[in-house]
Structure 1
Amino acid sequence: MSDSLPWKFADPHVEHWQIQQPHIDHYNHVNNVAYLSQLERLAWAHSQALGLHFDHYRELDRGMVIRRHELDYLLPAHLGDELLCATWIIHCDNKLTLRRAFQFMCARRRVPVFEAETQFICISLSTGAPKRMPPLFRQIYGEACLQSSAHAD
């Protein structure tokens, strides 16, 4: 079903999100904090599907942390809606940063309700200081990137 939707980019990593009461705010829409939580879950699910797990982060003393979010709330989502949540790595400099795009579609209405871009920066987990991506990050995230410049050193 997700293949026939009007995705922003080809070949998304897609997870399903069933909207339940704890996701709803006082306007009877999905709360902005719920969207942020879903972004985090989706990014981790995609990284794990690519073969990178938090154990790798710990072993390498590196992590990709959020530097900036850009969030666009396009249409409200409501209790009971099923959202198809997609992500792509759209830029990876193979040094310090990568960017993910996100698009959440309402399965019933077949329209996007939310879009976002997040910039991540590679840090040392032990110090919190920016550090170059280790070879495993460059290989996995770089190869998953939509832009061909991701493979440049």
Structure 2
Amino acid sequence: MKWALPDPFVTDIDVTDEAIDAYRHVNNSEYLRWIEQISWAHSEALGLSLKRYRELDRAMVVHRHELDYLAPAYAGDALQLATWIVACDGRFSITRRFQLQRKHDDKMLLNARTWFACVALSSGRPKRLPDEYRTIYGNAIVEE
């Protein structure tokens, strides 16, 4: 696969019938669900699991999603979804970028970006990134 940025964190997706909508292609909400899944998988691979989030009383919550749907996916398609951390302000936020491609023809199906804000799990109020988040997410940044 040709990715826009180097060293992506990648997951494979096999499109099932449950993902298909009345238009006979993958429903838009599935793309968002896949983005959430790969975000968690990447964070866990970096060492920040949900358990660790809870221990630190911090969470990275979605502030904004931007999804550009470029082409549809269909039942039976084998896809690859990639993500990168492209920004960490060291205070309150990180930004992820995503690309979704179909394997058999390398067709780009989606470009997306999500901005996350740090909050305390106990209150839901904005809180500074813990040192651990700053270090782990900051060291994972890929320059655009």
The TM-score, its normalising length taken from structure 1, stands at 0.92
Matched, 1:13 2:32: no
Which residue of structure 2 lines up, in the alignment, with residue 85 of structure 1?
Answer: 81
Deviations 1:23-61 (A, max 9, x none): 001111110111111010000000011111011111110
Aligned to 1:45: 41
Paired residue type of 1:108: H
RMSD between aligned residues: 1.0
Question: Is 2:100 the partner of 1:104?
Answer: yes
Q: Which amino acid aligns with 1:96?
A: F
Question: Which residue matches 1:60?
Answer: 56
Matched residue of 1:26: which SS?
coil
- Superposed displacement of residue 8, structure 1: 1.0
Structure 1: which 4+ aligned runs deviate by more than 3 Å? none
Give the deviation of 1:17 after TM superposition. 0.4
2:27 aligned with 1:26 = no
Q: How far, CA to CA, are the matches of 1:81 and 1:109 in structure 2? A: 10
Alpha-carbon distance in 2 for matches of 1:124, 1:137? 13
Q: In structure 2, what is the equivalent of residue 127 of structure 1?
A: 123
C-alpha distance in structure 2 between counterparts of 1:147 and 1:55, whole Å: 29
Unmatched tracts of structure 2, length 5 or more: none
- 1:69 and 2:65 matched: yes
1:16 alignment partner AA: D
Once residues 147 and 116 of structure 1 are traced to their aligned partners in structure 2, the CA distance between those partners, rounded to angstroms, is 16
Q: Which residue of 2 aligns with 1:113?
A: 109
**TM-score normalised to structure 2 length:** 0.98
Q: CA deviation at 1:147?
A: 3.7
Q: How many residues align?
A: 144
